[in-house]
Amino acid sequence: MIWQPMKPHDLSDVSRVADRVHPNYPEDEAVFAERLTLYPAGCLTLQNGERTIGYVISHPWHFKRPPELNALLNAIPASASTYYIHDIALLPEARASGAASTSVSTLVAHAKDRDMPNMSLVAVNNSVGFWERHDFRVLTDNELDEKLKSYGHDAKFMVREMHT
């Protein structure tokens, strides 16, 4: 298994993985395509031979303003205040392989290279424990919690402060 830069020809496989991993959070292929076009450095696929078994979508964004599900961004903000992890998704055969942790380390290094003050994400599918192991912490904010309802009852906004 190897992480590699996502390419446009990977998008149908990315959609297939997303549909299997996140059936309760459907997103159109156009959302993935736009993220790849706007910020290719934050888009990776996990390959096992010729087969895509996972992906990462991430990009600079506004702190405490996670994009809505299945929504286009239109642009990456010049005044981005966080490095946002939109999604890490792995098929079952890729889990417990260390691939997710490897991708987080890659994203942390990228965020540091961009001098981002923090990283943020919305944790779903009972993934809070995974993110806590990577130094992310739940941020409780009533206004933000209201916005997260579309992600489901267990969704948590999480932040990792970047220390130099």
**pLDDT score for 144:** 87
The rounded distance, in Å, linking the Cα atoms of 38 and 98 is: 28
Q: Is the dihedral of CA 135, 118, 148, 25 positive or negative?
A: negative
| pLDDT value, residue 164 | 53
Q: What is the pLDDT of residue 154?
A: 83
Q: What's the pTM value of the predicted model, to 2 decimals? A: 0.93
Please state, for a pLDDT cut of 90, what percent of the chain lies above it: 74
CB-count burial class (<10 Å; 0-12, 13-18, 19+) for 57:
buried
8 A C-beta contact, residue 79 and residue 95: no
According to CATH, the topology of domain 2-161 is Aminopeptidase (3.40.630)
The DSSP result for 138-164, as a single string, is E---HHHHHHGGGG-TT-EEEEEE---
Check residue 76 and give its pLDDT: 96
The residue with tokens 């079952």 is 92
- Block means of pLDDT (10 residues each) for the chain, 164 residues, are 94 95 90 97 94 96 92 94 95 87 93 95 91 95 83 89 78
Whole-angstrom Cα distance, residue 96 to residue 8?
A: 28
